[in-house]
Amino acid sequence: MQTLIKNGWVIDPANMIDGSFDILISDGKIEAVVPHGKISASKIKGAEVINAKGCVVAPGFCDMHVHFREPGHEYKETIETGSASAAAGGFSSVAVMPNTSPVNDNRSVTELILSQAKKTGLVNIYPIGAITKGLKGETLSDMGELKESGCIGYSDDGKPVMDSELMRRALEYSRMFDLPCIQHSEILDLTRGGCMNEGVVSTELGLKGMPVEAEDIMVFRDICLLRKTGGRLHVAHISSGGAVDLVRQAKAKGLPVTCEVAPHHFTLTEEACRNYDTNAKMSPPLRTNEDIDMIKEGIRDGTIDIIATDHAPHDLADKQVEFDNACFGIVGLETALPLTLKLVDEKVITLQKAVDLLTHQPCRIFNLDKGTLGIGKDADVVIFNPNTKFTIEPEKFKSRSKNSPYKGWQVRGKVLHTLVAGRSVYSDQNE
Amino acid sequence: MLLSTKNILSTKELTKQDIQQILDTADSFKEISTRAIKKVPTLRGKTIINLFFEPSTRTRTSFEIAGKRMSADVINISGSTSSSVKGENLIDTARNLEAMNPDILVVRHHCSGAPALLSQFIDSPIINAGDGSHEHPSQALLDLLTIRSHKGDLAGLKVVIVGDISHSRVARSNIRAMQTMGMKVRVVGPPPLIPPDFESLGVEVSHNLREAVRDVDVVMVLRIQMERQNQGLLSSLREYSNYFCLTSESLAKARDDVLIIHPGPVNRGVEISLDVMESPRSLILNQVTSGVSIRMALFYLLLGENNANPN
């Protein structure tokens, strides 16, 4: 079984490829990446041909921060619907956060997730295990067992590890397994009851704010701990310009810290909360234009390592309520590419760098043998047209939930095909 | 002339003409409440629902009396008697009420933005009777009516608002309405009770009551909530009173004709002293009387103008 992707512009940052190449896939693996038209006809006899003219061909995107809600909250998303959403967004690999019910803090839950993923058979699912049992912030989870059963990192995401002593031990203990601890950086004492960024808009709306200092202090604390413990710290969904500065300084000192940003934190500000739009309610909250400027600078200079969506599906019952009572979060998988390409439009980064942030870099941080079109690797491929304009219509999302603040946005950058191990898991033509 | 808005959700949405019209209409209704038979047929056959998810005596009663003086049928539903205790969602509750064809919903809710949320799902006009820390527009309108009846013209007047600005929907509604009417607003209170960004609303911020009252026409005192102490926003009510209780002493530098208002309910001796509260310059009870006229005016302007005569 062979597939030939021809006439496309291949961007494969892992192998420093950026040009007009044809890609031959055999039995789910990359067999050849050669300059356009150079594959001998005999070699590709009978191969299925995908014409990628005018399109970018890249390694399938890798989102290291999604919530698929299974087990426990299948009415919001399942591994199957989440996988379909990922495939439609061009993602071939995703890492699922452990705040399910029950929490993924032990082998049995990890194995359930992996078996559901296998049954679904769409995209590669990598579980992230809890840092603390039950996400309670009291005792460390069995990090060794979690790694052995398939987890690729540790996080209490949704909640921070507030106890500094416990965070210290988590960073220390995780060293044994060489997996990163992913922190949702938020000092809860400062954000209690808060539901949006503290600032002009929260003041006008009469909503309790979450000051940006809550994020900065936690990032700083963790960096201080990291200096002592070693281990690997990955700062999830950075939203504060001040926190970007802290990570930059820590990196300059050679500390093993990495961080990610979600597209909503460089495309929207607290202004989106006006009219009490609960689709603009997220944690960390949408901040200000100054934060966005500093985040873009962090993306530009490499302080911010990767883009991750924090895909957080919630159904209407959890969103069509008072702003105070609405759940935090938005779905992100099916809008990530066009929002990331805005950075290219604005000349913050090149198209090549944008692909890098969604493929090679996340796999480097999480030690995944993915995000590459290297010969012999699994043929996880995305084909997208960076110039196709379209209107975002959440009601058409593959995700079970439609909670997106981007409804009606005119964007460009459309996914046409997503392949996982050579098999088509999404094709625009079937829509 | 109709109002520029279908709902009364915030004073921010009201134009100067709207506010003037509401105040003028309320003035013309004042007399009804002094009659031997305090009732006009203007809103006969109209149904008003007071949907209150938060305790209230003054505001709810004021809306109820206003409706009844205009012959509307007024139904009161409180949070504890509504289906919300059975877990019914706010929108479902309101949609069910709407299915019974009310003409106006008056909503009070502890969450900022709840009336705005309802307005997306409900066709009937909605009057926000106080939502969280956001707005309480009818209170601001009755404050303006009270001030106007004593000062004649609102433009150019200076007002100081004293107390817990952070959590006050009364302050937010008043600031917006007063600015629309050309008044100047200053707020005074301890820093933990004034949001750091409050100057962005175009008000002057002070932490010194004695100085802050110096050149103003009106002092508005806000109720201080006892629970702020447990939230760490106040050291003690005793110390709060030392600095921010409106007394004849703290009013020493104020003008003689300064007016004192308070949205109630009053914590006597905490935010305002008994003698100031009962002095001739205190208009606290006039405010309550104005409240009925304002709410009659709102009902009339939202509902009745096309098919009735106020007399």
The answer to whether A418 and A424 have CB atoms below 8 angstroms apart is: yes
The percentage of chain B sitting over the pLDDT mark of 70, rounded to a whole number, equals 95
Q: How confident is the model over B138-163, as a mean pLDDT? A: 98
Q: List the single best residue of B92, B112, B203 to mutate versus A (max A Cβ within 10 A).
A: B112
Which residues of A are marked as active site?
Answer: 310
Q: Does B192 touch chain A (CB under 8 A)?
A: no
Average pLDDT, stretch B281-307? 91
Q: Which amino acid is at A213?
A: E
pLDDT in tens, A173-190: 999 999 999 999 999 999
Closest CA to B200 of A239, A271, A241, A264: A271
Give me the mean pLDDT over the B232-238 stretch. 91
* Rg of chain B over all Cα atoms, to the nearest angstrom: 19
The answer to whether the beta carbons of residues B206 and B158 sit under 8 Å apart is: no
What residues contact B291, with CB distance under 8 A and at least 6 apart?
A: B58, B59, B62, B66, B138, B139, B142
Residue-range domains of chain A with CATH: 2-57+377-386+408-430 (2.30.40.10), 60-365 (3.20.20.140)
Rounded to a whole number of angstroms, the distance from the CA of B161 to the nearest CA of chain A is 16
Mean pLDDT value across residues A294-321: 97
Q: Does residue A392 have a pLDDT over 50?
A: yes
| Tokens coding B254 | 């104020």
Which chain B positions have a beta carbon within 8 Å of A205's beta carbon?
112-113, 134
Give A327's DSSP letter: P
Domains of chain B are 11-135+290-304 (3.40.50.1370), 137-287 (3.40.50.1370)
* Chain A residue nearest residue B90, CA to CA: A321
Vertex A118: Cα angle to A116 and A120 (nearest 5): 70
Does the beta-carbon distance from A203 to B134 stay under 8 Å? no
The arithmetic mean of pLDDT across residues A53-73, rounded, is 98
Using CB atoms and an 8 Å cut-off, which of residues 307-346 of chain A contact chain B?
317, 320-325
Sheet holding B218-221, edge to edge: B204-206, B184-188, B158-162, B218-221, B259-261
Residues contacting B153, CB < 8 A, separation 6+? none
pLDDT band of residue B304 (cuts 50, 70, 90) is: low
Question: Which segments of A230-306 does DSSP mark as H helices, in order?
Answer: 241-252, 264-267, 289-300
Q: How far is A271 from chain B (nearest CA, A)?
A: 14
Q: Determine whether the interchain pair A206/B201 forms a contact, defined as Cβ–Cβ distance below 8 Å.
A: no
User: Could you report the per-residue pLDDT of A10-21, keeping only the tens digit for each?
Assistant: 999 999 999 999
Cα of A34 to nearest chain B Cα, Å: 56
Mutate to test the interface with B, among A276, A316, A318 (most CBs of B within 10 A): A276
- DSSP one-letter string for A37-84: T-S-GGGGTT-EEEE-TT-EEEEPEEEEEE---TTT-TTT--HHHHHH
- Asked whether residue B301 carries a pLDDT value surpassing 70, the answer given is yes
Query: Given this model, what pLDDT does residue B241 score?
Result: 96
Asked whether the beta carbons of A112 and A71 are under 8 A apart, the reply is yes
- Tell me the count of A-B CB pairs closer than 8 A: 61
The answer to whether A201 and A274 are in contact (CB under 8 A) is yes
* Mean model confidence pLDDT for chain B: 93
Which of B116, B132, B200 lies nearest to residue A200, judging by beta carbons?
Answer: B200
Q: Where residue B305 falls among pLDDT bands split at 50, 70, 90? A: low
Which chain A residues are Cβ-neighbours of B111 within 8 angstroms? 322-325
d(CA A307, CA A65): 9
pLDDT in the model for residue B308: 47
- Going by the DSSP 8-state scheme, the letter that residue A106 receives in this structure is S
Q: In sequence order, what are the beta bridge partners of B188?
A: B162, B206
Nearest CA among A264, A266, A226, A225 for reference residue A244: A266
The reported pLDDT for the residue numbered A309 is: 98
Taking CA–CA distances from B173, the nearest residue in chain A reads: A204
Strand boundaries in A211-296, DSSP class E: 233-235, 257-261
8 Å CB contact between A246 and A219:
yes
Listed range (B97-106, B200-209, B227-236) with the worst mean pLDDT: B227-236
Non-local CB neighbours of A334 within 8 Å, separated by 6+ positions: A85, A88, A89, A397, A398, A399
Question: Has residue B310 got a pLDDT over 50?
Answer: no
pLDDT digits (tens, 9 = 90+) for B119-137: 999 999 999 999 999 999 9
* Residue in B90, B134, B169 closest to A321 by CB: B90
**Residues of B numbered 123-182 whose beta carbons fall under 8 angstroms of chain A's beta carbons: which are they?**
131-135, 169, 172
- Would the CA dihedral through B277, B278, B282, B288 be positive or negative? positive
User: Which pLDDT score is estimated for B306?
Assistant: 58
Mutate: best of B111, B135, B169, B172, partner A, most A CBs <10 A: B111
Report how far apart, in Å, the C-alpha atoms of A54 and of each of A5, A8, A104, A349 are.
12, 6, 42, 20
8 Å CB contact of B113 and A205: yes
> Average pLDDT of A292-302?
98
- What is the per-residue pLDDT across B266-279, written as a single tens digit (0 to 9) for each? 999 999 999 999 99
Which ipTM value was assigned to this complex? 0.92
Cβ-defined contact of A207 to B172 (cutoff 8 Å): no
Q: Residue B198: closest CA among chain A residues belongs to which residue?
A: A203
Measure CB to CB from residue B114 to each of A200, A203, A322 and give the nearest one. Answer: A322
Q: Which residues pair with B104 in a beta bridge?
A: B48
Does residue A193 belong to the interface with chain B, where contact is any CB pair within 8 Å?
no
Give CA–CA dist A237/A259, Å, rounded. 7
Percentage of chain B with pLDDT > 90? 85
> How far is C-alpha B9 from the chain's CA centre?
12
Structure token pair of residue A263: 């597209």
Please work out, in degrees rounded to the nearest 5, the angle formed at the alpha carbon of residue B144 by the alpha carbons of B143 and B146.
65
8 Å CB contact of B89 and A199: no
Q: Is the pLDDT of residue A129 over 80?
A: yes
Give me the sheet containing B126-131, strands edge to edge. B73-78, B47-52, B104-109, B126-131
Alpha carbon distance B244, B210 (integer Å): 9
- What is the per-residue pLDDT across B44-81, written as a single tens digit (0 to 9) for each? 999 999 999 998 889 999 999 999 999 999 999 987 66
Query: Smallest Cβ distance to A275: which of B116, B133, B200?
Result: B116
Report residue B84's pLDDT band, with 50, 70 and 90 as the boundaries. Answer: low
Q: From chain A, pick out residues whose CB is under 8 angstroms from the CB of B134.
A: 205-207
Contact A351, A386 (CB under 8 A): yes
Per the document, the length of chain A is: 431
- Cα–Cα distance measured from residue A39 to residue A34, given in angstroms and rounded to the nearest whole number: 7
* Mean pLDDT value of segment B31-46: 95
**Measured between alpha carbons, how far is A324 from A194 in angstroms, rounded to an integer?**
8
Count CB-CB contacts under 10 A for residue A355: 29
Chain A residues in contact with B91 (beta carbon < 8 A): 320-321
Supply angle C-alpha B12, B13, B14, rounded to 5: 95
pLDDT interval class at A240 (50, 70, 90): very high
- Cα–Cα distance, B72 to B65 (Å, whole number): 10
* B135 CB-contact burial (10 Å; exposed 0-12 / middle 13-18 / buried 19+): buried
pLDDT band at A40 (very low <50, low <70, confident <90, very high): confident
Burial of A108 (0-12, 13-18, 19+ CB in 10 A): exposed
What's the Rg (C-alpha) of chain A?
Answer: 21
- Span of A30-34, A97-101, A425-429, B302-306 with lowest mean pLDDT: B302-306
pLDDT at position A420 over 60:
yes
Among A22, A26, A20, CA closest to A5? A22
* CA neighbor of A119 nearest in space, from A176, A78, A58, A65: A78
| For B93, nearest residue in chain A (alpha carbons) | A321
Q: What DSSP state is assigned to residue A279?
A: G
Q: Which residue type is seen at B163?
A: G
- φ, ψ of residue A161 to 5 degrees: the values are -85, 100
Please judge whether A206 and B197 are an interchain contact, meaning their C-beta atoms are less than 8 angstroms apart: no
DSSP conformation letters of chain B: ---S-SSB--GGG--HHHHHHHHHHHHHHGGGGGSSS---STTTT-EEEEEESS--SHHHHHHHHHHHHTT-EEEEEETTTSGGGGT--HHHHHHHHHTT--SEEEEEESSTTHHHHHHTT--S-EEEEEETTTB-HHHHHHHHHHHHHHHS--TT-EEEEES--TT-HHHHHHHHHHHHTT-EEEEES-GGGS-TTGGGGT-EEES-HHHHTTT-SEEEEPPPPGGGTTTTS-S-HHHHHHHH-B-TTTTTTS-TT-EEE--S---BTTTB-HHHHTSTTB-HHHHHHHHHHHHHHHHIIIIITTT----
Q: Which of A204, A208, A212, A274 would best serve as a mutation to test chain B binding (most B beta carbons within 10 A)? A: A204
What is the pLDDT, as a whole number, of residue B311? 43
Q: Is residue B302 within 8 Å of residue B43, measured between CB atoms?
A: no
CA-nearest residue of chain A to B121? A320
Neighbours of A250 (CB within 10 A): 23
Residue A164 neighbours by CB distance under 10 Å: 13
| pLDDT above 90 (res A44) | no
Mean pLDDT, rounded, for B1-29: 95
Residue with tokens 């999480």: A366
Instruction: Output the pTM of the full model.
Output: 0.94
Across residues B273-296, what is the average pLDDT?
96
